[in-house]
Copies of this chain bind each other. A is one copy, B any other.
Amino acid sequence: MSATGSEGALERVREADLAAFCREVLAFAGADLETADAATRAMLHASRLGVDSHGVRLLDHYVRVLRGGRVNGTPMLRFDRADKPVAMLDADHAHGARATYAAMERACLAARRYGIGAVGIRNSSHFGAAGAYALAAAEVGLIGLVVCNSDAFVRLHGGAERFHGTNPIAAAAPSGSGRPWLLDMATSAIPYNRIVLHRSLARPLPEGTASTESGEDTEEPDLAAMLAPLGGAFGYKGAGLAGLVEILSALLTGMGTSAELLPMTGPDLSTPRGLGAFVLAIDPQAFVGRTEFEAGMRRYVAALRGSAPAEGARVLAPGDREWEEAENRARLGIPIDPHSLEAFRRLSEELGVPPPASIQR
């Protein structure tokens, strides 16, 4: 999941130092405390678990959109219903992390009371790694599910134009002790970053994962104009899952579908993008009971990890790779790619915020 092939050579920074830096930079860029905390928490979730595409690399982007006016650094979040299992949140063009953590917290409160809780989010923005919010539910003993659409970059099955975003599905479930079961997947065959990476390495793409402008499969990263949906020859499944994400995150909330969204990367960084998202929390206590559920999860995850591997392969439970990486990074620090390092130095100067401690050395 790392964006580079040679992490060893990268500068590494302690998580706590990075978090302090991100919070301070965001605050100086106009974010209120809740926004700075939430965006930092979401970026650090990704950076900690090795999902560098959604990690602190995004800090510079988030500063740009706060300054540009696309993202409201001091939003007034409004839930439309009190004391019901479902609600709509108008996020007032908040940072996606601010909106989505708040929505999941609300869904979790509802789930504790009613067994299930769901929040549809309106007028939000890029939220980083969907898994961050699913994990927030699992950390309080609930099953969490999170979906969000994004600007179009994935063709349909049999299609020849960008139609869906990479439209992630994230889910997490507590397993009593140890680390939650955690799935965070794009419904595209590969992430867009993979194309960028393979371009820079001049390495062919895996078969059936990307297409040219005319919708033909290509393994040549320079010709890749769009991603294929998950599933290769059975790409109608990936496209269907991406559609389910559209339905829950955009159509149920009255926001734009992927093809209707302004691109994340600009050039317009001042118009709010009006992103929708959807979060769901389920309390096992209202079903089989928490104790029995978590015992079942432990049995299931142990069976997963113990399942016979193919020769030369390894079997992992969803999240295992990420939790391993988190252990490495807790010990060694979080690797910062050269581009982000340069951005940190620039932000540090511009805003008068000291750079993260280990970079100062």
Could you list which residues of chain A lie within 8 angstroms of chain B, going by C-beta atoms? 84-86, 88, 114-118, 120, 143, 155-161, 163, 169, 171, 173, 181, 183, 185, 189-190, 206, 208, 211, 214-216, 230-234, 236-237, 239-241, 243-244, 246-248, 250-254, 257, 259, 282, 284, 286-289, 292-293, 296-297, 299-300, 303-304, 307-311, 313-318
Contacts and interface: CB of A to CB of B under 8 A. Distances in A.
Contacts of A234: 189-190, 206, 230
A118 B232 contact: no
A308 B257 CA distance: 17
A311 B158 contact: no
A131 to B, nearest CB: 11
A288 B251 contact: yes
Contacts of A158: 309-310, 313-316
Nearest to A253: B288
A251 B293 contact: yes
Contact of A230 (B183, B237, B243): B237
A116 B157 CA distance: 31
Given A84-B115, A86-B287, A252-B282, A159 B310 contact: yes
B247 A308 contact: no
- Number of identical monomers bound together in the oligomeric complex: 2
Name A's interface SS. mixed
A244 B160 contact: no
A185 B310 contact: no
18 contacts: A116-B118, A157-B316, A158-B315, A159-B309, A208-B232, A214-B311, A215-B313, A230-B237, A231-B231, A243-B304, A243-B318, A250-B300, A251-B293, A251-B296, A252-B282, A254-B288, A254-B289, A254-B296
Nearest to A286: B86
Nearest to A182: B240
Nearest to A162: B307
Contacts of A117: 116
B310 A160 contact: yes
A236 B189 CA distance: 11
Contacts of A254: 287-289, 292-293, 296
Contacts of A190: 234
B120 A118 contact: no
A98 to B, nearest CB: 20
A307 B156 contact: yes
A151 to B, nearest CB: 14
Contacts of A189: 231, 234
Given A243-B318, A310-B158, A114 B86 contact: yes
A286 B313 CA distance: 47
A310 B214 contact: yes
Given A84-B115, A183-B243, 10 more contacts: A85-B115, A116-B117, A143-B252, A158-B313, A160-B310, A161-B307, A230-B237, A239-B318, A243-B318, A252-B288
Contacts of A297: 247, 251
